[in-house]
Chain A
Amino acid sequence: MKISHSPAEPDRKSSALTVGDQAKVYAARMRLQNAVDQADALDAIREIAGNLIGTEEVAVFKVDKKRSELWLYWSFGVDPNKHSVLEVRREPKLKQVLKGKPVFRLKLSTESLLSTDDPVNALIPVLVDGCPCAVIVLFRLFPHKPRIEPVDKEICEVLSNCASRAVEPCHSR
């Protein structure tokens, strides 16, 4: 008797993707929560960006007390001299991010989220006690990675909620 497997294929595929997505989100959370110190937490951000999301160009900016400027705190794969300060009044998307939610580049948009030459694909607030104290910027994605996917947004939520140790070393996890 010939048994057709074709009806089961889409389910199987979607199930595999779900497990994979869950594994990525879980791995990101565990990596950040198990970071032993500030340097390790920053390394965790780099690892998550490169291995789970698909960019090797990432920077962390700290928000100043007046919330008018963001100062480059740490970066990987980008020229720090090009991105030392971001002025909130010149960057409309930053105003949104400072309300506490990540902002992503739209699927078909060619617009960058910041007024820099380098394409920005995501702005992620780092929350400490619910308030953004820093912003993680994800720049250019790998050439074979066309866009930010739904699972990447989940991972960015994890970064937003679990990466405080990278910028506030004394903050408890």
Chain B
Amino acid sequence: MAKKVLLVDDSTTTLMMEEMILKQRTNYECVTAKDGLDAISRAVVEAPDLVLMDVVMPRMNGFEACKRMRTESSLSKTPIILVTTRGEEEYVEAGFQSGCNDYITKPINSFELVTLLQSYLGE
């Protein structure tokens, strides 16, 4: 059965790009959400194998969504990768404190993205 990835971003451009890369380079099934709140409800229903989530979003940012996902028993062990425009140490540390497993910076490098996801999900 195909592994399922939840892509979360308020930018339709980013979602389109991520979905295209994963569809062409992997067998993962993609589902999408447009902000942190939407992501939590989608994640509970879809039970993804991994969440790839932007940090800066309206309604609820990625840090907060990540924290809340960790309180849901069904999502407490799901790998969460945050997508950020900032690679500074403090920002990354805040991501890890919110409970994420990893992070990747924008603009996304497709090779880096696929390699990172495969390290969690396998090929």
Contact = CB atoms under 8 A, between A and B. Distances in A.
B38 to A, nearest CB: 18
Interface residues of B, number: 24
Interface residues on A, range: 20 to 34
A52 B24 contact: no
Interface in A74-128: none
Nearest to B105: A144
Contact of A16 (B86, B88, B110): B110
Contacts of B109: 17, 20
Interface in B94-123: 105-111, 113-114
B44 interface: no
Contacts of B11: 47, 50-51
B112 to A, nearest CB: 9
Contact of B107 (A19, A26, A52): A52
B13 A51 contact: yes
Contacts of A54: 85, 106-107
A27 B20 contact: yes
From DSSP, what is the main secondary structure of chain A's interface residues? helix
Nearest to A46: B11
A171 B31 CA distance: 34
Contacts, number: 80
Contacts of B111: 13, 16-17, 20
A110 to B, nearest CB: 22
Interface string B39-55: 00000000000000000
B55 to A, nearest CB: 12
Contacts of A53: 107
A46 to B, nearest CB: 9
A26 B85 CA distance: 21
Interface of A: 13, 16-17, 19-24, 26-28, 30-31, 44, 47-48, 50-54, 56, 142-145
Closest 8 pairs (CB-CB, A-B): A20-B110, A23-B20, A27-B17, A16-B111, A27-B16, A31-B13, A54-B107, A144-B87
10 contacts: A16-B111, A19-B110, A20-B21, A20-B110, A20-B111, A22-B20, A23-B16, A24-B17, A51-B107, A144-B87
